[in-house]
Amino acid sequence: MPISAEKIVANGYSIFHGSNAWSALSMFIERASNTYSSINILLDENTEKQCLPALYDNAPSLVNAALVRIPSGEANKNVGTLAEIWEALQSNGSTRRSLLINLGGGLISDIGGFAASTFKRGIDFINIPTTLLGQADASIGGKTGIDLLAVKNQVGLIVNPVAVFVIPDFLRTLNHQQLKSGYAEILKYGLISDRELWKSAKDNASLLTEYSESNWTDIIEKALVIKNTIVVEDPKEQGIRKVLNFGHTIGHALEAFSLQNDSNPITHGEAVAIGMICEAYISTVVLGLDLEELNQISSVILSIFEKYDLSKPNDSMLIELMRHDKKNTSSNINFTLLNSIGSAVIDQYTETKIISEALNFYRDL
């Protein structure tokens, strides 16, 4: 039976999105039930409660699928949790002809994709992202992996899912902080590639409190198209795909610090939002980003995200975390920077004193 829905063609798989994504998923599962020896669903306590019932309603045969449960939270994106997933798959009798369904946000698609890609040297998996971060960014592009020694995404593979199903209705299950976390990535896409998307995102921040399926569908599709276009051109992140890392060099360091030191750690998106302000500052020094655009970026981000207390981490601690970033060569810290809103340049380097200036710029806002 052919699958018909709005879709984006990626590297060997399709991203189904919009109002027809449920029907596309239902048809896929109907076919999968006759194709795979078994089906497993990876989820956490939140998606089991808030998302699994809708999945059962739209694909009733999945009530027979085995559930693989892991705890939510970035602190669990580690080799211990990965081993638990492998052990569950083995206990469930999974074979190389089994399917893993990743039902959740970026953590679920990252660790689930890695588990599937390595279990019995690789089984098929699909992603059903339930967070804005997952729908607009993490679930596509094939990046899978885990954190190691408090450093983000140090071990992993680039392996594509069989399909991705982006269903905006799941966004109704998210709280304000979770929506903001994903919104940071949408703002990033506008800053690196599409001035009009940046304008649309900054002018429609009310979406974070007033749900509109049509508006979310439109803005997520724009983000998906941008990321997929870049990933198709550079699937292994040897060149232009690095543009997606804007805000992430400093952001990942802050996220790792917060995870180790804060009782209520900041989210990935909150860390990237800080990183975008700091790296926009570095862009003014290295590439001559206009100061008015720097001020606009800072103002828009701070109108959405609460200020984080950067007095706790010292600069040397954060810079040391940045040195572990997987994009680096030798001891040089690699940045993607902006030369204007909507245009970014990869493989940029700067002195540590400029990084400290950027952190102080944020502190003084």
Cβ proximity of 54 and 33 under 8 Å = no
Active site (annotated) includes residue 241: yes
Alpha helices in 246-329 (DSSP H): 248-261, 268-286, 291-304, 315-322
Cβ proximity of 133 and 141 under 8 Å = no
Active site (annotated) includes residue 185: yes
Q: Which of 221, 237, 255, 279 is catalytic?
A: 237
Active site (annotated) includes residue 237: yes
Q: Which of 77, 152, 160, 185 is catalytic?
A: 185
Could you list the beta-strand ranges (E) of 112-224.
Answer: 124-129, 143-148, 151-158, 163-166
Active site (annotated) includes residue 245: yes
Cβ proximity of 339 and 289 under 8 Å = yes
**Amino acid letter for position 319:** I
Q: Which of 7, 17, 227, 242 is catalytic?
A: 227
Active site (annotated) includes residue 6: no
Q: Which of 7, 77, 241, 242 is catalytic?
A: 241
Cβ proximity of 360 and 255 under 8 Å = no
Q: For residue 262, how many other CB atoms are within 10 A of its CB?
A: 12
Active site (annotated) includes residue 324: no
Active site (annotated) includes residue 326: no
The DSSP code for 234 is: -
Q: Which of 7, 17, 143, 180 is catalytic?
A: 143
**Those residues with Cβ within 8 angstroms of residue 140's Cβ, 6 or more apart along the chain or in another chain:** 10, 15, 127, 164, 224, 227, 228, 231
Region class of 16: left (phi > 0), else alpha (psi between -120 and 50), else beta: beta
Q: Which of 121, 176, 236, 353 is catalytic?
A: 121
Q: Which of 152, 180, 242, 252 is catalytic?
A: 252
- With CA atoms as reference, report the closest residue to 167 among 362, 352, 16, 343: 16
Active site (annotated) includes residue 227: yes
Q: Which of 17, 222, 268, 327 is catalytic?
A: 268
Q: Which of 228, 248, 255, 293 is catalytic?
A: 248
Q: Which residues are catalytic?
A: 121, 143, 185, 227, 237, 241, 245, 248, 252, 268
